Structure 1
Amino acid sequence: MQMLPSKEEVQPDYMKLDKPVFYQGQAYEISAIGRQKELKLPLDLVQRWIDPKVRSEPGTASVILTTEDKVVRLQTDQTTASVNLQTVPLTSSMQKQGDQLYVPIDILKQLYGVDLRESADSGAVLMFTPGERLRWGRLNKEDGIELRTGPGKRMPIISMIPRDEKILIWEEVKGWYKVQRTGGEVGFIPAANVIEETEEVIPERKTDPVIPRWKPQGKLNMTWEHVVKGNPQTASIPAMPGLNVISPTWFHLADGQGNLKSLADADYVKWARSRGYQVWALVSNSFEPVMTGAALASYETRIHMIEQLLAFAKQYSLQGINVDFENMNKSDGPLLVQFLREMTPLLHAEGLIVSVDVTAKSGSDSWSRIYDRPALAAVADYMILMAYDEHWASSPESGSVASIPWVERSLRGLLETDKIPPSKLVLGVPFYTRIWTEEKTGEGMKVGSKAVFMEKPRKLIEEKGLKPVFDAKSGQNYVEYTENGKLNRIWLEDATSIQSRIELVHKYNLAGVASWRRGFEEPALWQIIQSDLSKQD
């Protein structure tokens, strides 16, 4: 028995909206508002279909949009926007209706290159994004054809499509095409009744010319200069062959309003530049979680920090900023990402490089889980893995600061699980170790440690006539001795351990190394690092 085609007619829910918005043949559940140049899209739609990184801050009635080269702040009912810290006029303001914010289309077109086509008849809006390929066709049937809700003649009818109407083809399902009319209606018609005519490619967004940023010839070789009060006497700093970046710890969060304390020194910069070093000054959160959360909480305080960094960079002729935020509340991790998203385009506009420090992965909410590593790496030029403190100062057991297998596991976690590009990943290496003491007491083993420069273990070995042995488990040289009834244990940081780390840089084709910190090392180590880093991958 032959089944007759359905004659039932229906009106889809989306056609009951004043201005339905469609993307790739799907309708959004909330209507747009306005028309033509005054058209505005729901913020929820923007976050779902255009850019999930768009941030809303209700406290200041603000929406912040960030792209590779732009930072835009919109405020409700304001006819201007802040674009890269400059005030620019808007054709239409952001508007609030009920609980929903509506974003003007002119800024969306400029930032994302979206193509919005509004039907003069139905008011429906068809949205397309850069790079999309659209297939257009017409019917080959004289008297037109029914547009149905599904792929089959038994499905209800939405409307009748005349022969000469241009239709958008989305996909084929069981011999039927899912198509869309320019008035917005989406449904199915037999593929045999469609003639494909043209393909249209939505143009890519035009971006501003990129200011060239420095790149090392070969691997990055960076060290941190730890500045606590005054800067070092540069005349006493020995040569560091192969070094190309130095990062003095100059800028620190001072309060929850985003004010920064500066220890920067123009003479130090002059010395560094005379040696051919790039200066990427470090900015820290002072490792204060409450203050950090307050400073990151709003656009105003984040931008205040960024504006100070831009001013410092100009004042001291810096080439980059190294972001070192640690010991934070886990809930503030997304705000750190937002800070980088707002900072990087503004620093890039001045030719500055942005790097960010992250710890190895662990179970700590405040020291490890605060970092959304893929999101941070997507924004920054470099991500520096601080691959040390496997066994930290108050660790309940003795062990290496950074055993080679642990370092490699930490690297592989970033490369394989988080998909961090190796060209962005820098391996942080320690220029220090710890002397561990173990003492048996009535309550069990008492463990203590003291961090020391590389020189200290070497002198102990010489003075006590110790003989280091290679510890295969840690991949390092190891010594131990007993003193005052306590067992002293040292996993050595020396040429052997540093060379093993540089082998990992080559094995995984990483961007280079960063060492904590200058002054802890044996001076002869620089020549070894230079020689090993310069080897071809």
Structure 2
Amino acid sequence: METMYTRMPPRRRRRRTGRYFAFFFMVGMLLAVCWFGYLKFIPNGQLIFPQYGFQHPIMVQGETASEGALLENEEILLPIDVLNTVLGPDKPIYYEEATGSIVMTTASKVLHLRTESLTATINQKPYKLTVAAEKKDGIVYVPITPVQELYGVKAEYAEHTGVVTLLLAGQSVQLAEAGKTKGSAIRTGPSIRKPMVEKVPQGETVRIWGEKQGWLYVQGPDGHPGYMAKPDAVLTRIEQVAAPQKDKPFVAWKTAGKPINLTWEAVYDVKPDPNKIGKLEGVNVVSPTWFELQDGKGTIKGKADPAYVRWAHSQGMQVWALFSNGFEPARTTAALANADTRFSMIQQLIAFAQLYDLQGINIDFENVATADKANLVQFVKELTPLLHEQGLVVSIDVTPKSTSEMWSLFLDRKALGKAVDYMMVMAYDEHWASSPTSGSVASLSWTEQSLARIIQEDEVPPDKLILSMPLYTRIWTEVKDAKGGIKVSSKPAGMDKVKNIIADKKLKPVFNEETGQNYVEYTENGSLNRIWIEDDTSIKARIAIAHKYGIAGVATWQRNFQTQSIWNTINQALHNP
């Protein structure tokens, strides 16, 4: 039997293999440490030029705007959309494509200009432009000069890179100096391994827009935004962007320490005779329905009466004449859609106010297409500064909020509230003339809700609101039809007429808890007649709502529905909360 032997490997070879492994392991570790050190401590020296997609990119607070600027004859032109974005939700710059008109508005200024034209006006006076607004590739641009004058927007142009930086009026920006001897890097990201977009020489200024991931987010002298290491920047001072010089603000008229007490004077074919009106105790403003839009070209028909104005002034009352759209939607759409037509209406109203010595204009546009919402706001924004320049108070009538497109949804109450001096909340017609059911013209709970929603949802300040109250009610007639249903009809009735019905029929009013009003009903010719009464009780309750919300005052529609004693009731309730 043959014996087999297993030969053991030499000890020397095993030791040599272990040494190789240890050597390569150490080399690998050393390389890893070097690579880690390189990544962590050796900065990227690559300098790149950012690609913004525009020849003249616009920077706003270190962020690139959606559109670029133009440069014409050393004047910067800025896109309207970008400006409206940075100027806030009010979007004060309006462009009308059909006419090429551009309108810029502030609380006291209205600037009109057109694309491709150096002709412009500000508050109806000539305004000098050195560069015209223009439309290019579907984008409308306006020159920076009027933008800076009206809104305080400052534009800086970096000639080396073409970057435009916008600074906003009143803005506070932290400044810093580059602190490193060889310059401080601005990088594309919060890491020294990110490439540089700019290397700022020591001592030069950067703007700091914030802090991101432990790095400063800055903008350098060449306009490029990016990241700078905190140790590389030395904080210096706060830059305060100057606001434009403002005109003395218009202060809407209000009798010292007294609420507004307005009544509308409905004027139809026959002028009211002031000698037959009598004493309106406590009323300090009358609003006669004198002016009406006649066509889509903006023609306004007037039926003002100088004798009525003289009478009102002799009674210590202001006259805020009402301007209506005639409740005609087609002509309203046409008149509001054109900048020239809007301006024509404004000029006519100013001329009427000067001719008849008026103190205000009350706008009453109703039955308006929802598509005209923005144009109505624009009209009021253009109207108010020019009327204020003439010392005129601007007010607008609005309905309570509802789902009705033509009677409610077209009203941007929030935007309108910012533009006008006063907003009349027409808190009546809860049940309107052709309502399918009988009911109160304005129940107390509905009235309060109408006022509260505009304050809470539309953020209209209470001191701009006036609660409009009805001096009328409706006599509802309910008749059973052949199918057992009820057919409802109504007719309006003033306070004296209702009093006479109650007296003639010897009715006894009952207080209705649900509506907060007195109520009567009676049968006549086989039909049930129902009346939710407007009287001292309901008027006092409405004025209590006005006091609760601290609003500017009350108004009444309309004087002819009065009972003479109601003026004393209103006056006493207003001044004795």
Deviation of 1:306 (Å): 0.7
How many angstroms apart in 2 are the aligned matches of 1:59 and 1:440?
55
2:169 to 130, 142, 159: 130
- 1:535 maps to 576
Q: Which residue of 2 aligns with 1:370?
A: 410
Q: 1:502 to 1:378 in 2, by over 3 A?
A: same
1:241-298, Cα deviation, whole Å (9 max, x unpaired): 1100000000001111000111101111001100011000000000000011011110
Q: Is the 8 A contact 2:173 2:208 kept in 1?
A: yes
1:519 is paired with a residue of what secondary structure? helix
Q: 1:47 is matched with which residue: 60, 66, 84?
A: 84
* One-letter code aligned to 2:213: K
Could you list the per-position Cα deviations for residues 116-158 of structure 1 after superposition, in whole angstroms to 9, with x for gaps in the alignment?
A: 2222322322111111001110133222233222223344432
Other-structure match for 2:469 = 429
Query: Does structure 2 retain, via aligned residues, the 8 Å contact 1:321–1:352?
Result: yes
Q: Distance between the aligned counterparts of 2:392 and 2:253, measured in 1?
A: 8
The corresponding residue for 1:258 is: 298
1:324 aligns with 2:324: no
Q: 1:74-106, CA deviations, whole angstroms, 9 ceiling, x for partnerless residues?
A: 112211211111222112111222222221111
Q: Counterpart of 1:442?
A: 482
Instruction: Please give the alpha-carbon distance, in whole angstroms, between the structure 1 residues aligned to 2:531 and 2:134.
Output: 64
Match of residue 57 from structure 1? 96
| Percent identity over paired residues | 44
**Larger helix share, 1 or 2:** 2
Task: Specify the alignment match of 1:516 in structure 2.
Answer: 557
Q: 1:155, 1:333 → 2: CA distance?
A: 50
- Indicate conservation of the 8 Å contact 2:200/2:221, yes or no: no
- Identify the residue that residue 470 of structure 1 maps to in structure 2: 511
* Residues 37 and 245 of structure 1: CA distance in aligned 2, closer, same or farther (over 3 Å): farther
Q: 1:337 aligns with which of 362, 366, 377?
A: 377
Counterpart among 308, 320, 340 of residue 300 in structure 1? 340
Is the CA contact 2:292–2:326 (under 8 Å) kept in the aligned structure 1?
A: yes
Q: 1:99 aligned to 2:164?
A: no
Unaligned runs of 5+ in 1: none
Once the two structures are TM-superposed, the CA of residue 420 in structure 1 deviates from its matched residue by 0.7
CA distance in 2, matches of 1:10, 1:462: 92
- The partner residue of 1:354 within 380, 394, 397 is 394
Q: Tell me what 1:13 maps to.
A: 51
Range with bigger deviation, 190-199 or 309-318: 190-199
The answer for the alignment partner of 1:244 in structure 2 is: 284
**Counterpart in 2 of 1:198?**
237
The one-letter amino acid paired with 1:44 is: D
CA distance in 1, matches of 2:278, 2:332: 36
Moved more, 76-85 or 49-58: 49-58
Residue 21 of structure 2 aligns with which residue?
none
Q: 1:484 aligns with which of 512, 525, 545?
A: 525
The count of residues paired between Structure 1 and Structure 2 equals 535
- Conserved in 2, the CA contact under 8 Å of 1:405 and 1:474? yes
2:187 corresponds in structure 1 to 148
Partner in structure 2 of residue 187 of structure 1: 226
Q: Distance in 2 between matches of 1:526 and 1:13?
A: 72
Residue among 319, 325, 348 paired with 1:285: 325
The C-alpha deviation readout for 1:10-52, integer Å capped at 9, x for no partner, is 43222x5322221111122322112675221122222222362
CA contact (8 A) 1:37 1:91 kept: no
Name the amino acid aligned to 1:109: Q
User: CA offsets, 1:313-371, max 9 Å, x none?
Assistant: 00000000000000011101111111101100000000000000000111110001010
Q: Distance in 2 between matches of 1:414 and 1:243?
A: 25
2:64 paired with 1:27:
yes
Question: Is residue 268 of structure 1 aligned with residue 308 of structure 2?
Answer: yes
Larger Rg: 2
3-state SS of paired residue (2:197): strand
CA RMSD in angstroms comes to 1.6
Report if aligned partners of 2:468, 2:556 keep a CA contact under 8 Å in 1: yes
Cα distance, 1:36–1:119 mapped onto 2, change above 3 Å: farther
Match of 1:499 among 540, 543, 560: 540
The CA distance in 1 between the partners of 2:410 and 2:138, in whole Å, is 30
Q: Is the 8 A contact 1:72 1:82 kept in 2?
A: yes
Q: Distance in 1 between matches of 2:193 and 2:551?
A: 59
> Which of 151, 154, 157 is matched with 1:112 structurally?
151
Name whichever of 501-510 and 192-201 sits farther off.
192-201
Q: Give the 5 Å matches for 1:67-106.
A: 67-106=106-145
Residue 290 of structure 2 aligns to a residue whose secondary structure is: strand
**Structure 1 residue 513 displacement after superposition:** 0.5
Partner of 1:382: 422
Q: Which is worse superposed, 307-316 or 456-465?
A: 456-465
Q: Specify the code of the residue in structure 2 equivalent to 1:89.
A: K
8 Å CA contact retained: 2:298, 2:344: yes
The 1:35/1:169 distance shift into structure 2, 3 A limit, reads: farther
Given the two structures, how large is their TM-score scaled by the length of structure 2? 0.90
CA contact (8 A) 1:178 1:186 kept: yes
Deviations along 1:199-223, one digit per CA (max 9) or x if unpaired, are 1111121022346542223111000
CA drift of 1:9 comes to 5.1
Equivalent-residue separation in structure 2 for 1:193 and 1:89 (angstroms): 46
Amino acid at match of 1:289: P
Q: Once the 2 structures are TM-superposed, how far is the Cα of residue 190 of structure 1 from its aligned partner?
A: 1.8
Residues 472-504 of structure 1 deviation map (CA, whole Å, 9 limit, x = unaligned): 100111111111211111100000000000001
Residue 408 of structure 2 aligns to a residue in which SS? coil
- Whether contact under 8 Å (1:438, 1:445) holds in the other structure is yes
Letter in 1 for 2:49: Q
Q: Name the residue aligned to 1:419.
A: 459
| 1:36–1:118 contact (8 Å) kept in structure 2 | no
Matched position secondary structure for 2:405:
coil
Counterparts of 1:279 and 1:37, CA distance in 2 = 50
Greater CA drift, 254-263 or 53-62: 53-62
**1:461 corresponds to:** 502
Structure 2 distance, partners of 1:139, 1:303, is 53
**1:61 corresponds to which letter in structure 2?**
G
Q: Distance in 1 between matches of 2:524 and 2:250?
A: 59
Rounded to whole Å, the distance in 1 between the matches of 2:192 and 2:512 is 75
Query: Which of 123-132 and 298-307 deviates more?
Result: 123-132
Distance 1:175 1:448 in 2: 73
Contiguous gaps of at least 5 residues in structure 2: 1-32
Structure 1: how far apart are the matches of 2:389 and 2:71? 34
Q: 2: distance between equivalents of 1:523 and 1:427?
A: 20
**TM-score of the pair, normalised by structure 1:** 0.97
- Aligned amino acid, residue 475 of structure 1: G
